[in-house]
Amino acid sequence: MQVAILVPETEWRALLDTVSRLEAAHAATAVPAPPPDDILTVPQAAALLGLSAESIRRARRAGRLKGVRRNEKEWGFPRSAVEQYPLRYHRPAA
């Protein structure tokens, strides 16, 4: 059984006007979604950071660099994670 609610036309128009104003305000303040990240291979990430490929793999295994599986053997790294890596794990020279 369905329930039907009768709403006077003036009230219905006021509700529609309120909804349209809320949608317009939301559209004006909504932040657009960032573009998708490039996925870098191990050699590309190593070249970008100036590290060896093995250092990149060690950082992934240690949890310092977020990686995604490209296939059964290869890992990929989001460009944003690779660019943040030196900012988070930089050690000053002794």
Burial of 51 per CB tally in 10 Å (0-12, 13-18, 19+): middle
The torsion angle over the Cα atoms of residues 81, 84, 88 and 92, rounded to 10 degrees, is 130
Q: What is the reported pTM? A: 0.59
Model pLDDT for residues 4-45, shown as the tens digit of each residue: 989 999 999 999 999 999 999 988 887 877 788 899 999 999
94: pLDDT confidence band, cut at 50, 70 and 90? low
Spatial separation of the C-alpha atoms in residues 45 and 38, rounded to whole Å: 11
Rounded Cα gap, residues 27 and 31, in angstroms = 9
Q: How far apart are CA 44 and CA 53, in angstroms?
A: 9
Res. 59: pLDDT tops 90: yes
The pLDDT confidence band at residue 92, using thresholds 50, 70 and 90, is low
pLDDT > 70? residue 81: yes
Q: What is the mean pLDDT of residues 53-82?
A: 94
